[in-house]
Structure 1
Amino acid sequence: MNIFNIIGPVMIGPSSSHTAGACRIGAIVNKIVDNDVLTEVRIQLSGSFARTYRGHGTDRAILAGIMGFQSYSEEIRNAMEIAEERGLKYEFIAEDIPGAHPNTARIYFTCKSGKTGFVEGASIGGGNIRVSNIDGMEVNFSGENNTLFVLHKDTPGVIANVTNLMYWRYGELNISGFHLSRKERGGDALMTLELDELPPEQLITDLKKMDNIDNALLIHAI
């Protein structure tokens, strides 16, 4: 725990959960699309997010995070106008997600390249978040650490190959959290590795060259 878990983050807005946390959920989408250009987002708000999002600025905060702004950015106040200037279409839907945390958002996105996907995350207090789903894959990370995603085939030996690569070539890296999800046995699977250090870009290049690895993506700590 650090001091910001106690006093809350530096932020624009009235609520660490409904604005700062919301902005950070949006920021995960910004990181996932990497250098692609977002053209459209549809944001489903659940629980208390759905009830109070206008008054607490949750809508502006999520949109600002999606566009790459921080929880303390002045641009949060004008996020909707900035989105329109950028040609980013957006829609908010107040609809509960069964079994979800009270402060949950599910963000569906479309990019200029044609790439689509969605992210589901919850604001759990003090500006902290917990991301639970990416493109239908269950995940479990906070965004506080540098996080490595490895999309791969659910084939024996893949996890060992990835961790061996990290040990032998990048031994200074320490894995602080690991989560594996898959839709079905033998199908697509997703490794989520939270790291104490920021890995070099070469690691991503090396991972993408490996057998049975479809993609690798690094999300810097937010």
Structure 2
Amino acid sequence: MKYKSVFDIIGPVMIGPSSSHTAGAARIGRVARSLFGREPKTVRVSLYGSFAETYKGHGTDVAIIGGILDFDTFDERIIHSIEIAEQKGILIEFIEEEAIPNHPNTARVVIRDDHGELELVGISIGGGKIEITELNGFELKLSGHHPAILVVHNDRFGAIANVSNVLAKYEINIGHMEVSRKEKGQLALMTIEVDQNIDDFILEEIEALPNMVKVTKIVE
């Protein structure tokens, strides 16, 4: 059961015309912005399935860029987001992919600046709800609708337990947690959805643990 309330069925307050193609797309873009932590210099968006077929008419293009500019789903600036981004000097590219995706509303977002790059795959599952299924080559399942901590770490014994112990110390409840790794003993990614926003000092304490590489958060 994906829908927990009547508001999930009706959908979010948003700029139209479609909750899947507009609100969901904006949330995919905004999660990418949240994880990148700053305004990028270049944006490349690959669109698959229904997104690729209808993105201009349904506003998927302006929605994703609006999210990357950190606009909420109801922000009227979304309509003009591409113009706003171009005025800021952000280079934008849209690619209509022919490959058949696992979900019809799929977007791959790559954002860059002089200091780094982030690559994210998101799907819009309806009613403005999304799932992030890939981040920088790691497979994951992230809703983007709850506060979350993403921990890149060395795949070593005790790393997961150490992070869990820090969260338990501050009485932070874990709603969903999973770990993805590309190869045994190499880098891994912990995805932890929690019940409340996390203070920065807790993230700093986690990052200071052995075998931690990078800790980021998504706020609600």
Which TM-score band (shorter chain)?
over 0.9
Look up the match of 1:148.
149
- Aligned partner of 2:78 in structure 1 is 76
Runs of 4+ more than 4 Å apart: none
* 1:197-208 alignment runs, 5 A limit: 197-208=196-207
Q: For residue 122 of structure 2, what is the aligned residue in structure 1? A: 121
Work out the CA distance in 2 between the residues paired with 1:186 and 1:103. 34
- Determine the C-alpha separation between the residues in 2 that align with 1:3 and 1:103: 23
RMSD, matched Cα = 1.0
Query: Displacement, 1:13?
Result: 1.5
Aligned to 1:42: 44
Partner of 2:105: 103
C-alpha separation between the residues in 1 aligned to 2:98 and 2:132? 17
Distance 2:58 2:175 in 1: 34
Q: Quickly say closer, same or farther: Cα 1:11–1:2, change in 2 above 3 A.
A: same
Report the Cα offset of residue 112 of structure 1: 3.4
Give per-residue Cα distances to partners, 1:82-113, cap 9 Å, x unaligned: 01111111000010444421000000111232
Q: 1:217 corresponds to which letter in structure 2?
A: T
In structure 2, do the counterparts of structure 1 residues 78 and 69 end up closer, same or farther at CA, with 3 Å as the change threshold?
same
Q: Deviations over 1:170-196 (max 9, x none)?
A: 12x100000100000000000000001
Aligned residues: 217
Offset at residue 162 of structure 1 (A): 0.8
Write the letter of the residue equivalent to 2:194. L
Q: Where in structure 2 are there 5+ consecutive unaligned residues?
A: none
Asked if structure 2 preserves the Cα contact closer than 8 Å seen for 1:30 and 1:65, the reply is yes
Q: CA–CA distance in 2 between the matches of 1:93 and 1:16?
A: 22
Q: CA deviation at 1:165?
A: 1.6
The equivalent residue for 2:135 is 134
SS at 1:156 equivalent: coil
**What is the CA distance between 1:141 and its match in structure 2?**
1.1
CA deviations on 1:14-59 (whole Å, 9 max, x unpaired) are: 100000000000001110111x330001000000000000100100
Asked if 1:183 corresponds to 2:185, the answer is no
* Number of the residue aligned with 2:211: 212
Identity %: 43
Question: C-alpha distance in 2, partners of 1:4/1:112?
Answer: 40
SS in 1 for 2:156: coil
Matched, 1:7 2:10: yes
Taking the TM superposition and a 5 Å limit, the aligned residue runs for 1:160-171 are 160-168=161-169, 170-171=170-171
Of 67, 70, 74 in structure 1, the residue corresponding to residue 69 of structure 2 is 67
TM norm structure 2: 0.96
How far does the alpha carbon of each residue in 1:134-161 deviate from its partner, in whole angstroms, 9 at most, with x for none? 0000110111110100110000110011
* Aligned residue type for 2:203: I
CA distance in 1, matches of 2:160, 2:28: 28
1:17 paired residue number: 20
